[in-house]
Structure 1
Amino acid sequence: MVEIFDNIHKIYQYKAPCAELADYIEFFSESSYEATGRYMANQGFTVKLFPSWTPTFWINLGSPYQLLLDQQRYSIKSEEDVLILRNTIVERHNLPTDHIFTVKFSPGGFEAIFGIPQAQLADKVVGLHHVLPFQLIQKVKRIDSFEERMELLQNFFLNMHKEKKAKSHYFNVVKKAIETYGNGNMEYSNGEIAKELFATNKTIYRYFNNVVGTTPKNYFSTLRARTALSEYVIDKKLFSPYDYGYYDMSHFYKDVVKFTGKKLIEHRV
């Protein structure tokens, strides 16, 4: 399955975080063993994810899997749990008995809660025990339900965040910059965004590198490609590249290739 092109959500259940964490976490999710068996016909399968610069926890509740990150392959054992930044294309090669619990953070959200610069995670597979207490991970694994797992981790994150509020200024500026870019039809330049935030280009550049781990230009180009491609897949007849700051369809097509490594013609959308 390929993210955006295919409906990978059909084998997962999702829940949004509580209001206090909504700015920092996109969602909690957990794959369904029953749905996986139904849709994957008890066959091994691959999930391909495109760059999003969203730190992600994968807590393994099922089988071992293979992870391909930056052209390097990792063998993740059934008892192993990982953290990745998703700054590049990621592929998970799964057995039919795959069962994974996911926490997907917003850009900068992981740093706001844990105080660990997001940029340090680029191109790495980090053992989750380096971030979460081992006892907490084991308790999450022993719990029977998705809702209880989510509640346990939410309470932990809330306590962590209370200790990190003093460092939230960078995150708030980056969040506002991302909102400004979206509200500006994804056409604003870095200079225009800085002007809207009463800041300098240099300040916005430094904040993005500190919080997201990449430059504003790189992040915004990724965000635009993800957003536009998602809308194109939903309804290509109504899709207009001008709604996302592209000059024309050719400009959009080139960005899709740059973003996914594939041409649209290679996928039936």
Structure 2
Amino acid sequence: MNYETFAPHPNLDAIVKCHWILEVPGDMEAPKQRVIPDGCIEMCFILGDDVKRFNSENEFIIQPRAMVFGQITKPYFVKPTGYVNTFAVRFYPYGFANFITQPIHELADKETPLTSLFEESSIKELEQKIIEAASTKSRIAIIESFLLSRLTDKSIIDNIVTSTIDSLSQTKGSASINSILKDDLSKRRNLERKFSKQVGISPKQLGRIIRLQAALKMMLNKPGENLTQVAYENEYYDQAHFTKDFKEFTGVNPKQYLDNDQMMLSSLIYSKD
């Protein structure tokens, strides 16, 4: 299993967190993999065999081969049908709003074909170029040219949104929204409207996801760390609060996560991200 990330062009680095690739041999038998919220939006190109996303224990859809997956608010399962070869762009929480006109919350918890968001002929041409590219470097150049050609006005990224996300990131999600707004509650409703349009989830929910990710990285990079200490260092009220949040976003408790082979993919990604 090979997962790598690549830095974006300087003109996109305020919007794009990274480009990434994932390759898994077709003969590598793996169970369904659990994908959990990370606060980002992904534009994905499936270059290998089809990938199933499960709606229930036995029901699934085949993911579009060129798509955007919106904000994730609950865990879901995927399973490749064979060889995995995916190229993708990971946007910061507010990043993808710069490229489309519809509210970002409409994309949450589902895959949306790129042809539903952009002109179909341009997407067909883009997809063909991505498929035919000889290297990851070439694919990055192709997708960045596409994005830069559509980045006409950065002013859509509202200062109150970016400053709130910066504060949440710097405090690993532990800062309260009231403290960020300095208890000016008149700003809260406005902030929540802007988050719905530009991020796709509420500021409080994004803060919870950022804090969960910080705790998850600590668990993955410090195996054997006491879970009470993980909860304390990430400013949960107590271990019970940590376990409750963890289970809500991942579907399992922290101990089950570390011992579960359905977490191989997310453990690989989140330990490096």
- TM-score normalized by the length of structure 1: 0.82
**Counterpart amino acid of residue 225 in structure 2:** K
Determine whether 1:83 maps to 2:71: no
Query: How many angstroms does 1:127 deviate by?
Result: 1.1
How far apart are the structure 2 equivalents of 1:67 and 1:19?
34
Query: How many angstroms does 1:165 deviate by?
Result: 2.5
Q: CA RMSD in A?
A: 2.6
**Does the 8 Å contact 1:65/1:95 carry over to 2?**
yes
**Cα 1:58–1:69, aligned 2, differ >3 Å: closer, same or farther?**
farther
Residue aligning to 1:237:
225
Residue aligning to 2:156:
167
**Does the 8 Å contact 1:55/1:118 carry over to 2?**
no
Query: How many angstroms does 1:200 deviate by?
Result: 1.7
Secondary structure of the residue that 2:190 maps to in structure 1? Answer: helix
For 1:1-269, list aligned pairs within 5 A.
10-32=1-23, 36-37=24-25, 41-43=27-29, 45-68=31-54, 73-76=60-63, 80-87=65-72, 88-132=74-118, 133=122, 134-161=124-151, 163-168=152-157, 170=158, 172-184=159-171, 186-195=173-182, 200-235=187-222, 236-237=224-225, 239-268=229-258
How far apart are the structure 1 equivalents of 2:44 and 2:219?
29
Q: Which has the higher contact order (CA 8 A, sep 6+)?
A: 2
Secondary structure of the residue that 1:120 maps to in structure 2? Answer: helix
Moved more, 208-217 or 234-243: 234-243
Quick one: percent identity of the two aligned structures? 21
**Counterpart amino acid of residue 136 in structure 1:** L
Query: How many angstroms does 1:91 deviate by?
Result: 2.2
Question: Is there any run of 5+ residues in structure 1 with no aligned partner, and where?
Answer: 1-9
**Cα 1:182–1:30, aligned 2, differ >3 Å: closer, same or farther?**
closer
Secondary structure of the residue that 1:96 maps to in structure 2? Answer: coil
How far apart are the structure 2 equivalents of 1:44 and 1:181?
35
Moved more, 45-54 or 104-113: 45-54
**Does the 8 Å contact 1:70/1:89 carry over to 2?**
no
**Does the 8 Å contact 1:60/1:100 carry over to 2?**
yes
**Does the 8 Å contact 2:45/2:86 carry over to 1?**
yes
Aligned residues: 250
**Counterpart amino acid of residue 30 in structure 1:** I
How far apart are the structure 2 equivalents of 1:28 and 1:154?
10
**Counterpart amino acid of residue 202 in structure 2:** T
Deviations 1:168-209 (A, max 9, x none): 3x2x42221021123346432211111299972222222212
How far apart are the structure 1 equivalents of 2:95 and 2:174?
25
Moved more, 130-139 or 211-220: 130-139
